[in-house]
Amino acid sequence: MDEYAIGVLTSIGLLTFVAASAYLLLIAGELSFGQQAFFGVGAYAAGIATAMFGLPLPLAILAAMLLGGLAAALVGLPALRLRGLYFAMATLAAAEMLRILFELFHWQVQVGGEAVGPDGTQGFRGIRWVFERGVEPLGFLGIVWALLAGVVLLFILVERSRLGTTIRALGEDPELAGALGVDVLRLKLGVVAAAGALAALGGALFAHHNTYIEPRNFDIMLGVHTLAYALIGGLGTVFGPLLGVALDLGLLEGTRVFQGYRMIVFGGLVALLLIWRPRGLLDERMVHWLRTRR
């Protein structure tokens, strides 16, 4: 496989974690403009763990997910009492606050004679754990997609369980779900925390893929893009967000057919697609049809 293809496939994998976290919130009936911040929390936490304290990557990923979930829950606690656009704006405000905190975050230690750590707007360089251990790009691609496969499997299991049905019921009609005995706020808080941890997992891998992160990586553009990926891919199955990311990165950027006009083409396609299928390509009806077809 050539280097370019490996790069595109790795990016698709990394962004799918964030798109899947936006998807999880969407099926629970919440629209978040802030998942990029938890992606950022994961990136910073994992980078600090490996580059500054020499912890192994698996441990760093766990720490990143824990911190990402915690940060998301802290934002969700007040924000979840709000609905629709208000929730979206609260998550946007929180995410921008976190991004500005990254800009103000200076914490460096001496590692092997050089200062390593977050340096405000100058970013955080030298997150080289993966490369120092001689993992080739192809090997890292394997790690990303293996973890993604795990996430997808988990999604499929949950969506087939009672919990998954309850989450969808919550998205459909929270009042009715509450009347049927679902603890709406607690379940939503759990969903928000899980989505935060999922985005943080992507962020941890992103930091180690790039070896350099800066606050600008985690701005609102990333958030709205991943939301769009989840929605055009479809809200019927977890393969929806993956399809959304693959359509944009693989088809439009990867093939470089529309160089210079990519956004005009992509933007128009998305708007037209949403008229035809407001819940995405792989929406609930499509998934049901695919499943029952014999």
Partner 1 sequence: MALIDIFQNTLDGLTAGASYALLGVGFTLIFGVLRRANLSYGPAIMLGAYAATWVSLHTGAGLLVLFLVAVLATVLAGSYVERLCFAPHRRGPAAAAMVASFAIWMQLEELATLLLPRHLYAFPALYEGGALHFGPFSLRVESLLMLLAALAVCFVGWKALYATRFGVAVRAVIDDPRAAELSGISVGAISLRVFALASAIGGLTGFLIVASHEQVTPMLGMWSTLKGMLAMMLGGLGSLPGAVVGGLALGLIEAHSQWYLGPQFRDFIAYFLLFALLAARPPWMNTRSAY
* Binding status of residue 262 toward partner 1 by CB under 8 A: yes
- The contacts of residue 232 (CB under 8 Å, 6+ apart) are 244, 247, 270, 273, 274, 280, 281
Smallest gap from residue 277 Cβ to partner 1 (A): 9
Under the binding rule (CB under 8 A), the answer on residue 268 touching partner 1 is yes
Q: Per-residue string for binding with partner 1, 44-83, x by CB under 8 A?
A: ----------------------------------xx-xxx
When the beta carbons of 2 and 276 are compared against partner 1, the nearer one is 276
At residue 280, φ and ψ (nearest 5 deg) are: 95, 170
Binding mask 204-233 for partner 1 (x = CB under 8 A): ----------------xx--x--xx--xx-
Task: Please say which residue, 34 or 203, places its beta carbon nearer to partner 1.
Answer: 34
CB of 283 closer than 8 Å to CB of 234? yes
User: What is the token pair recorded at 181?
Assistant: 């005995």
Task: Decide: is 176 part of the binding site for partner 1 (CB under 8 A).
Answer: no
Rounded-to-integer distance, Cα 15 and Cα 218, Å: 12
31 near partner 1, judged by CB under 8 A: yes
Q: Tokens representing 251?
A: 């088809």
Angle 275-279-283 (CA atoms, 0-180°, nearest 5)? 125
Under the binding rule (CB under 8 A), the answer on residue 41 touching partner 1 is no
Distance CA 66, CA 196 (A): 9
For the CB of residue 133, give the shortest distance to partner 1 in the complex, in Å: 36
By DSSP bridging, strand 212-213 and strand 114-116 are: unpaired
Q: Give the whole-angstrom CA distance, residue 105 versus residue 99.
A: 10
Task: Output the CA–CA distances (angstroms, integers) from residue 36 to 51, 82, 136, 246, 275, in the order listed.
Answer: 22, 20, 27, 18, 26
Cβ 41 vs Cβ 200: under 8 Å:
yes
Q: Which stretch binds partner 1 (CB under 8 A): 4-12, 49-57, 85-93, 201-209?
A: 85-93
- Smallest distance from partner 1 to CB 169, Å: 16
Q: How many residues bind partner 1 (CB under 8 A)?
A: 44
Nearer to partner 1, 86 or 289 (CB): 86
Nearer to partner 1, 42 or 280 (CB): 280
> Which range touches partner 1 (CB under 8 A), out of 59-67, 93-101, 161-169, 197-205?
93-101
First to last CA, the chain: 36
Provide the minimum distance between the beta carbon of 283 and partner 1 in the complex, in angstroms, as a whole number. Answer: 11
Residues that bind partner 1 (CB under 8 A): 26, 31, 78-79, 81-86, 88-90, 93-94, 96-97, 100-101, 103-104, 220-221, 224, 227-228, 231-232, 260-264, 266-272, 274-275, 278-279
